[in-house]
Structure 1
Amino acid sequence: MPSPRSRVGDHRVPTVRPDQIPLAVSTYLSTSTGLVDLFDNSRLLGDLVLWANLTQKPDDATSIVNFLVLAIGCQMDDEELAQDYFEYARDKAFSNLSGNLSVTAVQAFTLVTIYMLCSCQINGAFLFFGIAVRAAYSIGIHRTEVNARFGPDVHRQRDRLWKSLRVVDLFLSTSMGRPPATSDVDCTVPYHAAEDNTNDVPDLLHASVQIFLILEGVVTEIYSRRKISLQLTEGISLQLRDWSLRWLKPLKDVLADPTIHDQAQVSGACQILSTYYYAVMLVSRPFLMYELCQRLSDTSEPSPGRTAAPGKLRLADACVDAASLMVDPILDLIQRGALVGRVPILVSLVLGIGLLGGFGRILEKYTRMSIQALDHCSKHDTHARQYSLIAQSLLTTALESLEKRELQERMRRTESSSQLFGLIPCDADMVSMSPASQTNTHAPSPAPNPRSRESLDRSFLQHNGLQGMASPRFGDLDAAFLGISDSLLQTPDASYWGGNIGWEADSGSALNLFALLDAGGGIDLAHHL
């Protein structure tokens, strides 16, 4: 089998097969759309095919960029070849840094960053991206008046290159919790300027940069200062609502029918929607954690409306709802095969926390869906595998806590019903007396059998089908811990019934419910009440 490299001049240039170009370009666009917009995508495939058919590739910056595009596009199908392309292009990009900087140099190191992001080398991506940013500042890409000197087409390309840098920068800084490398202090490139579209597809780069700018404000105003208030949250929520009014429906329309849009548009729309939901979760997460701590610190059963003010509780609910809405489109696209495995989607573990805090058992379903999506991405992403293991552990802990809480409640209810009918059997030595004790009312009560509580617990577990559960925690629970006392063995007095109906009440005071059942609920109860 021939080596993927052939010696040309003093450099070993990787061999490029023209028949591999279409699939590689398609995968590259699916991976990068919504994150960067570096080229004229309508011409990218044709330009790469022409370049690949050259007998000897030119030793210039354009070849470096082309190799990096192919490296990103081949990661899914031929990782060894992709690494070969990447290492060659990265080394050439370094060697060209001593020359004049250009837009191509910024593109090259931005592509190096994306490749390393997709191969889970996030620290390396962070370092290489710093080179791309400094090169961009050096040639004035952050100033739209400088970009305008190169004509309309180059002006648009340079403006969009700066927006791409902002998106990648904020993606990296948010994911890693590090300060951004770019700033708008000296920037004049407009982020909200409308561009003429030739079709109904939304401008994904504009949608992406605008939501990431809001996300930057969340990180700066809340997490960097470690302070939050309802007033601050209200201002950020207004920005998110404005973004939602502008972009949410167009993006959802793209995801609603992936068959009429290309894979790159679908993947990019999913990436941007995930970022929007992540921004909602990030701004409301402190309120969710506050509510969770309140509920877990309370020994009684959680009461959603009792532990938090209405405004705080609504924000906690919004955090859980955003996480649920984030899972749906991702898993749907995975099941349709419309989402590539290496797309760097921001993820969260909010669902497991919501389940643990008692925000609804339906969250168990969404948590399992999120784990399924992470497992799909973990085929190519070690970070996704790590998140999946954390989510599984959190799900297990949440379910154990809910089962324990529900068992306690069930035992309390069983105590109440057992006073009526003696549902739970008990040891004979606990309820019977010797003949001497029956004749002598002043005889002391027998000492409690130390095994009585254990037998009572076991009978309850067997009655409810819990004795054979895999978790050993239920078998040795003390009855007092579960809320059961010796009152189970006592006969209830008349006050237990509420005082309205006594044991010797006449037939006229009783309420015949069988007539109500037979009549299908249509009986008049006025004269009974």
Structure 2
Amino acid sequence: MTRPKVPDDKRIRTAQACESCKRRKQKCNGLKPCNTCTKRNLACEYLAERGDGHSTTPTATGGHGTIVVSGSSPAAKRRRSSPDNVVSPEEPGTKRPTSENTATFLTASRHASDMTEPRRILGLPTPIPPPQLPAQPDREPGLLEAQSRQSTGSGADEVAEVYTETRMLQDPTGRLLYLGDSATLSYLQFIRMIVESVDGPSQFTMDPSRHRLMESTSTLPPDTRTSLLLPDRKTAGVLMKSYLTNTSGLIEVFDRKAFAQQVDLCYEDPLAAEPTFLCLLYLVFAIGLVLATPVPGSEETVIIQKVQAGQMDRAEMFFRNAKCLCDPTSGFEDADFWSVQALLLMSVYMLARTKRNAAYAYHGMAVRSGFALGLHRQETMVIFPVSIRVVRRNVWRSLYVLDRFLAASLGRPTSISEEDCSAEALVTPERYLGQEKYLVDTNTDPESSGGLNAAVRSCQVIGLILKKVYAQRKISTRLAKDISEQCKGGPQKYHSGLHWRKAMDKTIAPAHGMAVLHVNLLYCHAVILLTRPFFLFLMNRMQQERLGIPRPVIRSGSKMEKFSEACVSASFHTVALVHMGYEGGYLPQRDPFVIHFLFAAALVVQSSEFGALHKRPGYADTYQKALMVMSYCAKTDPQAGRLVYIMTTFHNMIVARAPAGSSLHDPSSLPSTPHDAFSSQPLQPQQMQQQRSQSLSQPQPDLDRSGSANLTGGPSTSSPGIMPTVGAGQAFATPPIPPDAAQAVVSGSDAMGNVPLYPMMRFTE
């Protein structure tokens, strides 16, 4: 319905509209807050132009005490971070690079960036908030009283803009691939910028591979002939068990009992087996072989070593056999349910082989096929028998879990929108049969079934975080508290056997242990994604205060500090959990989920130690645990070897800043890295300049700068941290926990390296 036309003589002109009304193209009366923002309960912000071209952001709007890091709107930030804006269009004679001079353009662009980025970080002016506007005489007194009560009753609602460091990285084929704000590599680059602004160039900040994306390539020659021979029955059983064990709690593609019966029939009469079933079976073999970690000295170890012997990559051969038999991508236009299962398994296999972009592509095809088959709608289930309903529901839930994981780890849009799905599309299929009958009829472990339920719930929270935080590029403590309310109880709410303490039991069954690890790590990662923007905000704020830049004061013990502390606590908890699986002997060496969760948590732990934001006495022990597990994974996973290098160079920066008497200077506390290319000695100035020159001479893209990160660095001082924090060791060691949050807090210290654990906290003031 259109608005009535207002006569020209009655039109009211305002000098400036607020940013919210500008974005929404709404009428604005110019007041603060304006009528539109008051009615819609929106933050009303006005950006006043300054002489240096930067705008100022008010610290409080309508009594909400808004704190914004950057002085530009999200739209402006996106324009600055776009690769199209690397070369300014205002300069005369400037041309966009053509295909012939792309390498030259990228090299020149990166050279200019590496020379100016420290200056940008050091010299970028930080907007100083203007004084509060006086109250307008025509404002309603009731509204002012309500805002006054809100600002004094429960504390200001603190808002932090999400720092963005969108990246375009080059894969081994030369393609530029996009990584968004939620990706761990984007967070890593932002931390590199902070470290370089404080301590200058180093082996960590000048990593020659920082502009490349680790993607494995096939080791088989393209002319390798496929062999459709099945492995012997005992080997097949070991590979199937490995697949079920190492995907427990995250992926459920088959009715296990029916699938086992089909395997028996296949080995009794191989010629009668359906090609579609053989395709799925070979994919199970491929995933099981890649993830296989049998108990040392067992019969399974002998079988796996026999399969892996020789020069041929047997897992890749299994994968090619599956595509040769019945490639789901070639018949994509007439795909059936089996092809959705096959594409889902292909995506998991690609993740395990460090081919994240291929996994993202296969998963997208699986989701589109699932939409075509109606897997996302509850009303389509009634025409199928109960056994088929169960499998269809579990496949869709597995697609959903993988969708949220890929979207969060790559910073890309989700493929599944919950608004387009039925409300019951993600509900456990146990409702069709009852829990006991479901577990018996499908031969499913209760921990695996409960684990998938818990994983779906954590992924719903992750999807909410991606939509309301990273897509909007702003988060408030009120929003964070609302989202955290949905995480009460943890994974153990869905099954008592999923409590994280179960991972400490060294006699636990491997499938049960992996289910505990997967669901608890996914839960903790949701906490890290939610609270990491507050952590980065406070790190940047400490650096600004250290340089004497006037900024609005954040009172000690604020909600923002508590959420930042929760980020560090969840990271410590993640490292401890993974180490439990390593000590238990059931942790695989190539689990893509565990490696991603561990690296994301380790970076937060190291960042907190570097910035002295939330000092933890157990940092050295936690770092060694993380490096030990990552080195264990690096024996077979090249991506883990790359992450070992990053973690070790970052740790050397932390050691260099530590006081002289710190235990970090003890040589025994510096574990060696298995990465042959890494030297533990710091680079000399001549070596640093040589490395910078070599890095600039290579045609590697550096389109990963947004220009929106409002950092202000400075030269290094004798302080071990970015800025001395008042009572950091006491204020954040054991934050107060509300009594009503007991169910949402995981506590414990002795088994976790003397670190208090709060995977999710409810904060009230």
TM-score (norm 2): 0.49
Q: Does 1:353 pair with 2:607?
A: yes
Counterpart AA for 1:65? L
- Among candidates 435, 440, 445, match of residue 197 of structure 1: 435
Other-structure match for 1:180: 414
Counterpart AA for 1:169? D
Q: Does 1:390 pair with 2:638?
A: no
State the alpha-carbon separation in 2 of the partners of residues 136 and 257 from structure 1: 39
State the alpha-carbon separation in 2 of the partners of residues 89 and 177 from structure 1: 30
Q: Which moved more, 1:88-97 or 1:162-171?
A: 88-97
String of CA shifts for 1:109-149, please: whole Å, max 9, x gaps: 11111111101111111111122111111111111221221
The verdict on how the C-alpha distance between 1:138 and 1:327 changes in structure 2, with shifts beyond 3 A counting, is same
> Quick one: higher RCO (CA 8 Å, sep 6+), 1 or 2?
2
Q: Does 1:340 pair with 2:555?
A: no
- 1:293 CA displacement: 2.5
String of CA shifts for 1:197-229, please: whole Å, max 9, x gaps: 337636111111110110111111111111011
Other-structure match for 1:265: 512
- Is the contact made by 2:528 and 2:570 (CA closer than 8 Å) also made in structure 1? yes
The verdict on how the C-alpha distance between 1:145 and 1:208 changes in structure 2, with shifts beyond 3 A counting, is same
String of CA shifts for 1:407-436, please: whole Å, max 9, x gaps: 9xxxxxxxxxxxxxxxxxxxxxxxxxxxxx
Q: Does 1:34 pair with 2:255?
A: no
State the alpha-carbon separation in 2 of the partners of residues 482 and 270 from structure 1: 41
Other-structure match for 2:570: 322
Other-structure match for 1:284: 531
The verdict on how the C-alpha distance between 1:95 and 1:16 changes in structure 2, with shifts beyond 3 A counting, is farther
Q: Secondary structure at the match of 1:164?
A: helix
Q: Secondary structure at the match of 2:348?
A: helix
- 1:24 CA displacement: 0.1
Q: Which runs of 5+ in 1 are unaligned?
A: 1-9, 408-469, 474-480, 484-529
- Is the contact made by 1:28 and 1:70 (CA closer than 8 Å) also made in structure 2? yes
Q: Which moved more, 1:215-224 or 1:89-98?
A: 89-98
- 1:309 CA displacement: 4.8
- Among candidates 345, 348, 357, match of residue 123 of structure 1: 357
State the alpha-carbon separation in 2 of the partners of residues 12 and 200 from structure 1: 37
State the alpha-carbon separation in 2 of the partners of residues 139 and 380 from structure 1: 38
State the alpha-carbon separation in 1 of the partners of residues 282 and 656 from structure 2: 51
Cα RMSD for the two superposed structures: 3.0
The verdict on how the C-alpha distance between 1:279 and 1:98 changes in structure 2, with shifts beyond 3 A counting, is closer
String of CA shifts for 1:233-253, please: whole Å, max 9, x gaps: 111111122545724854125
Counterpart AA for 1:233? A
Q: Does 1:13 pair with 2:228?
A: yes
TM-score (norm 1): 0.69
String of CA shifts for 1:81-123, please: whole Å, max 9, x gaps: 2211101212422476168432211101111111111011111
Q: Secondary structure at the match of 2:271?
A: coil
Counterpart AA for 1:103? F
Other-structure match for 2:392: 158
Counterpart AA for 1:400? A
- Among candidates 79, 89, 97, match of residue 322 of structure 2: 89
Q: 1:240-251 counterparts in 2 under 5 A?
A: 240-243=487-490, 246-247=493-494, 250-251=497-498
Q: Which moved more, 1:245-254 or 1:287-296?
A: 245-254
Flag the structure with larger Rg. Answer: 1
Counterpart AA for 2:253? L
The verdict on how the C-alpha distance between 1:232 and 1:87 changes in structure 2, with shifts beyond 3 A counting, is same
Identity %: 22
Counterpart AA for 2:374? G
String of CA shifts for 1:320-377, please: whole Å, max 9, x gaps: 1101111112111112211222222232111101111222232221122111111122
Q: Does 1:237 pair with 2:237?
A: no
Counterpart AA for 1:191? L
- Is the contact made by 1:144 and 1:155 (CA closer than 8 Å) also made in structure 2? no
The verdict on how the C-alpha distance between 1:232 and 1:43 changes in structure 2, with shifts beyond 3 A counting, is same
The verdict on how the C-alpha distance between 1:293 and 1:148 changes in structure 2, with shifts beyond 3 A counting, is same
State the alpha-carbon separation in 2 of the partners of residues 400 and 95 from structure 1: 52
Q: Which runs of 5+ in 2 are unaligned?
A: 1-224, 293-303, 437-444, 548-552, 664-680, 685-716, 720-765
The verdict on how the C-alpha distance between 1:168 and 1:143 changes in structure 2, with shifts beyond 3 A counting, is same
The verdict on how the C-alpha distance between 1:46 and 1:259 changes in structure 2, with shifts beyond 3 A counting, is farther
- 1:254 CA displacement: 4.1
Q: Secondary structure at the match of 2:228?
A: strand
- Is the contact made by 2:347 and 2:360 (CA closer than 8 Å) also made in structure 1? yes
Counterpart AA for 1:142? H
Counterpart AA for 2:606? G
State the alpha-carbon separation in 1 of the partners of residues 260 and 540 from structure 2: 54
Higher helix share: 1
String of CA shifts for 1:428-458, please: whole Å, max 9, x gaps: xxxxxxxxxxxxxxxxxxxxxxxxxxxxxxx
State the alpha-carbon separation in 2 of the partners of residues 391 and 297 from structure 1: 26
Other-structure match for 1:215: 462
State the alpha-carbon separation in 2 of the partners of residues 306 and 98 from structure 1: 55
